[in-house]
């Protein structure tokens, strides 16, 4: 066994799925503590354990308007990317203090975990969950 060996992952199994859903999304407008580590943020942690780069597209859904996107990112082969939603700029920034949800699609299998750090009050709060694998 040695999962750091790239040939082994290729042959034995695909790690993850191509589409993931995260119904919760909310970027607080206010923060406490030193930036950027303690800035309130939502993150999609993406693992691409495979031998090919992952081209990722994100659609953002809202309560009362059409979806935004697609936002695009690349996760190189055998790398992880912890993508902060508050840093997405193109085609438009995600509005603050607004409920949203995301659908994340990749051209190769990935694994996605969702994290929020909330520092609206003096002490930070954390939450996380695996995203929901779709089809």
Enumerate residues 27-46 that contact its own copies by CB under 8 A: 33, 37-38, 43, 45-46
Judged by CB under 8 A, the residue of 68, 88, 94, 108 near its own copies is: 68
120 interacts with its own copies by CB under 8 A: yes
Answer yes or no: are the C-beta atoms of 39 and 78 closer than 8 Å: no
112 interacts with its own copies by CB under 8 A: yes
Q: Where are the beta strands (DSSP E) in the chain?
A: 17-22, 41-48, 54-62, 68-75, 79-84, 100-118, 125-130, 132-134
Angstrom distance (rounded) from CA 97 to CA 8: 44
113 interacts with its own copies by CB under 8 A: yes
Judged by CB under 8 A, the residue of 82, 87, 92, 93 near its own copies is: 82
Angstrom distance (rounded) from CA 44 to CA 69: 16
Size of the site for its own copies (CB under 8 A): 72
Judged by CB under 8 A, the residue of 85, 94, 108, 118 near its own copies is: 118
Nearest to 97 by CA among 69, 131, 57, 63: 63
52 interacts with its own copies by CB under 8 A: no
121 interacts with its own copies by CB under 8 A: yes
């Amino acid at each position: 066994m040695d999962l750091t060996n790239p040939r082994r992952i290729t042959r034995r199994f695909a790690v993850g799925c191509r589409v993931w859903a995260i119904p919760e999304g909310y970027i607080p407008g206010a923060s406490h503590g030193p930036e950027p580590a303690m800035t309130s943020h939502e993150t999609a942690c993406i693992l691409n354990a495979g031998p090919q780069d992952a081209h990722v597209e994100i659609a953002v859904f809202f309560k009362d308007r059409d979806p935004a996107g697609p936002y695009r990112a690349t996760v190189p082969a055998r790398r992880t990317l912890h993508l902060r939603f508050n840093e997405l700029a193109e085609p438009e920034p995600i509005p603050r203090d607004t409920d949203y949800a995301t659908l994340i699609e990749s051209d190769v299998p990935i694994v996605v975990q969702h994290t929020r750090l909330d520092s609206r009050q003096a002490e930070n709060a954390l939450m996380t969950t695996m995203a929901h694998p779709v089809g």
